[in-house]
Amino acid sequence: MTTRCAFAVAVVGVLACGATLQAQPSHSGPPYEVYMVRFAGFHSFPVSELVRGADTSRRTDLAFMVGVIKGNGRNVLLDAGFYREQFLTAWKPFDWQRPSAAIAKVGLKPEDITDIIISHIHWDHLDGADLFPKARIWIQKAEYDHYVGSNGEPLDNAIDTVDAHMLAQLHRAGRVQLVDGDAREVIPGITVYTGGRHTYASEYVGVQTAAGVVVLASDNMYMFENLAKHVPIGATYVPGDSTSNLQAQDRMRHIASSPRLIIPGHDPDVFVRFPTPGDGVAKIE
């Protein structure tokens, strides 16, 4: 598909460890299985904070999920969820499970996770990164540098203090690989894209599967309604910035093999549209 290949440019990504990764983004890589695994829910969240301009009286349940990408000897998470007591106390999610325990539903133990792609630094996506002892953590360099100081201090209140220190500690341990920009095929068949601008350098992921390219949007597209109505997310890095987010959603349509394969960050309807295998697990196919 020519539109999709327009983004497949050769790049050189510089890794945190100083090594250089030759990466050739493409969508002809090896196929993976992709699952969304729900580890918590939240009742009655204002839709207007998710879908800009929505009626302020509308409320929705939220799903908290991690993406699980299996294949080619890898078990990759998109985002790591949360587990620290302060978040449980503040948010009181329902049906919460440690993300590291929830992945048992797809046959995985915490030590089986080889890689975690962090879409952005918000607590509900980053906090669980240290639950997976063998995982390499991928995050945009611009995102890391914008939010985490040289001593692990938070540089912006969008990142929680404890998570900034945790991420810096993983970085010092050599477990963080910083991704140098847009359209980087960080793992064969798995490419990250920037431009959604939910945070400073939030990213989303395109994954080659047997059903075609799946896009895991994370909070660059909160709900299916954003895409269906062509409406930006409620929370953008620059308040009121519709342009970059809508451009990112338009681009997701080119990257994905079908619009139905674009998976939002918090929509409980994921488990309705993709009902198998069930019990909080949706195979995206």
Cα separation, 137 vs 7, whole angstroms: 24
Q: How many residues bind Zn ion (CB under 5 A)?
A: 2
242, burial (CB in 10 Å: exposed 0-12, middle 13-18, buried 19+): middle
Stretch that binds Zn ion, among 19-27, 45-53, 139-147, 218-226 (CB under 5 A): 218-226
Identify the CA nearest to 171 among candidates 205, 144, 134, 200.
144
- Tell me how far CA of residue 48 lies from CA of 54, 59, 120, 222, 231, in angstroms: 5, 8, 21, 11, 11
Stretch that binds Zn ion, among 1-9, 161-169, 190-198, 214-222 (CB under 5 A): 214-222
In whole angstroms, how close is the CB of 65 to Zn ion at the nearest point?
9
The residue type found at 277 is: P
In whole angstroms, how close is the CB of 122 to Zn ion at the nearest point?
5
Q: Is 210 left (phi over 0), alpha (psi -120 to 50) or beta?
A: alpha
- Tell me how far CA of residue 4 lies from CA of 1, 245, 283, in angstroms: 6, 18, 23
CB 37 within 8 A of CB 63: no
Identify the residue among 185, 219, 225, 267 touching Zn ion (CB under 5 A): 219
In whole angstroms, how close is the CB of 144 to Zn ion at the nearest point?
18
Residues forming beta bridges with residue 36, ordered by sequence position: 67, 282
In whole angstroms, how close is the CB of 244 to Zn ion at the nearest point?
18
Nearer to Zn ion, 219 or 267 (CB): 219
115 binds Zn ion (CB under 5 A): no
In whole angstroms, how close is the CB of 4 to Zn ion at the nearest point?
27
Nearer to Zn ion, 23 or 216 (CB): 216
Nearer to Zn ion, 63 or 170 (CB): 63
Cα separation, 91 vs 136, whole angstroms: 28
In whole angstroms, how close is the CB of 125 to Zn ion at the nearest point?
6
3-state SS class at 259: helix
- Within residues 152-191, the interface with Zn ion by CB under 5 A covers none
In whole angstroms, how close is the CB of 103 to Zn ion at the nearest point?
18
Cα separation, 270 vs 224, whole angstroms: 9
In whole angstroms, how close is the CB of 43 to Zn ion at the nearest point?
16
Nearer to Zn ion, 23 or 126 (CB): 126
Identify the CA nearest to 129 among candidates 147, 141, 116.
116
Identify the CA nearest to 242 among candidates 251, 250, 232.
232
79 binds Zn ion (CB under 5 A): no
Nearer to Zn ion, 13 or 128 (CB): 128
Nearer to Zn ion, 16 or 66 (CB): 66
Stretch that binds Zn ion, among 4-12, 18-26, 213-221, 269-277 (CB under 5 A): 213-221
Stretch that binds Zn ion, among 87-95, 118-126, 146-154, 167-175 (CB under 5 A): 118-126
CB 49 within 8 A of CB 234: yes
124 binds Zn ion (CB under 5 A): yes
3-state SS class at 103: helix
Binding site for Zn ion (CB under 5 A): 124, 219
